[in-house]
Amino acid sequence: MNSPRASGILLHPTSLPGPYGIGDLGEEAYHFVDFLVASGQSYWQVLPLGPTSFGNSPYQSLSAFAGNLLLVSPEKLVDDNLLSADDLKPAPRFQAGNVDFGPVIKYKRALLEKAYDNFKRTTDTGERTDFLSFSQQSSSWLEDYALYRVLKDTHDGQSWNTWEPELVRRDPQAIAAARDDLHDQIESHKFFQYLFFKQWSQLRTYCHDQHIKVIGDIPIFVAYDSSDVWMHPELFKLDSDGNPVVVAGVPPDYYSTTGQMWGNPVFDWDYMKETGYKWWIERLQAMIKLVDLVRIDHFRGFAACWEIPYGDQTAERGRWVKVPGREIFTAFKQAFGEPPIIAENLGVITEDVEELREEFGFPGMRVLQMAFRDTVNSDLPHHYVSHTVVYTGTHDNDTAVGWFSSEPGIGSTRDENQIEQERHFCMEYLNSNGQEIHWDFIRGALSSIANTAIIPLQDLMGLDSSARMNLPASAESNWSWRFRASQLTAKLGHRLKHLTELYGRGRH
């Protein structure tokens, strides 16, 4: 993937403002696209768009193919005559700056169910035809996912491995009976997915009309409690009872002294090889239908995976196990030509990982916030090559302002002396007095040789640690940040546009 000099903003749609407790694909999403245009940007980068579960992490999705129903816009349902304006009232008094997921889920689910009831009574043949077409085109994953979600609902949200034994092992008679008995509920979940993909398609069309490209995100692993693992256990390293033999994570690093234990089941690559990596090809194909470029999270997992014995409490006893990445990406090339992939090559990166990335021509990532430990650090701009995507920070980092004012504590492996040394080096390197450190970070990224520069919206707004999206190895208060509409000002856009054009990243 070769690209001209350009830049964009990282913002997950859940962080958009709006009256319904969580950002969605409605009016505010279109306003954000307009802001990108006005500020001279070319890209909107989002996090994974799949349905979330306990913990609300988009990196632990219930499906590798389905969409997050919390992003469905109630107002667009009114526009499509699936709801009335009165159906949206009275909306609970949601928090403005954060997502309170419990009440949001309850409110949105009730609206979706009402929309489905209205759909069943509609005389709009166009809507019915579109739904039927979507169901047929998505049948390879939609039928199984809808059944999984209904069974999960009937089991009070419990993981599939706690269901009745005949459902756990997917006994054909039990599955057929469930499809029969739960037909209407299954159809409702298929309809909910239709609404998500319809609204996303409309938004992406608007992006294209405005010459904005969308960068999506694929987590390399899937959640254990997902339709993918339940319906296709042969794709994963599971024992005869369906439990993981090993789980994925990363060893101790910059983010955590005990490593990160994600808990995801690990792929059975030998089995996948026998199928020609069919599941992965279908997964990337589905993603390319949604976005223009695909960031693959934890790219190093395609060279080797950190496999942790199931049952361990930390990631420290894991080991690296080889993965046939070269074969997988060769299969991608045969299927897609030049797949539009960005490789997330952060963390403990070995020579074989970089060789794999370079062989297939995928740009890697650099994070400015991680640059100031020493002068040989590859995240320093003077070490970049042009075929790179630079970020001031990512969803896993603190904000630039938060990082600059940080102290030793939870989420940091740095002591007071290290923090002060990095802060001093940062100011010297960026020629900064620290008063507008976020703009100094933005200038450093935009002025670099990297072809692509991405700025989290929190850094553009100069927000502190309270606006952080995620704290790795932490289970509380993540993924909930939202901005207020009043924060996205024309003045902010004008300043960003000036720097964007100054450093040759204007819209093409």
Compute the distance between CA of residue 268 and CA of residue 244 in angstroms, rounded to an integer: 11
Residue of 236, 230, 294, 203 whose CA lies nearest to 63 = 230
- Whole-angstrom CA distances from 327 to 6, 281, 345 are 31, 12, 19
Q: Does the annotation count 344 as an active-site position?
A: yes
Catalytic residue, from 24, 75, 80, 396: name it: 396
Catalytic residue, from 144, 225, 228, 297: name it: 297
Q: How many CB atoms lie within 10 A of CB 359?
A: 12
For residue 490, what is the DSSP state?
H
SS (H, E, C) 407-424: CCCCCCCCCHHHHHHHHH
- Whole-angstrom CA distances from 288 to 24, 213, 335 are 21, 12, 12
Q: Does the annotation count 396 as an active-site position?
A: yes
SS (H, E, C) 213-227: EEEEEEECCCCCCCH
Q: Does the annotation count 153 as an active-site position?
A: no
Burial of 427 (0-12, 13-18, 19+ CB in 10 A): middle
CB distance 255 to 473 below 8 Å: yes
CB contact set of 491 (below 8 Å; sequence gap of 6+): none
Q: Provide the angle, in degrees to the nearest 10, between the axes of the packed helices 172-181 and 183-209.
A: 80
Residue 449 carries which side chain, given as an amino acid letter? I
For residue 335, what is the DSSP state?
H
Q: In b/e form, how buried is each residue of 16-26, taking b as 16+ CB within 10 angstroms?
A: bbbebbbbbbb
Residue of 358, 248, 392, 383 whose CA lies nearest to 309 = 248
- Whole-angstrom CA distances from 120 to 82, 116, 163, 182, 368 are 10, 6, 30, 16, 52
Between the CA atoms of 110, 86, 199 and 69, what dihedral angle is there, to the nearest 10 degrees?
-20
Name the phi and psi angles at 168, rounded to 5.
-60, -45
Catalytic residue, from 24, 225, 344, 459: name it: 344
For residue 302, what is the DSSP state?
G
Q: What amino acid positions are annotated as catalytic residues?
A: 297, 344, 396
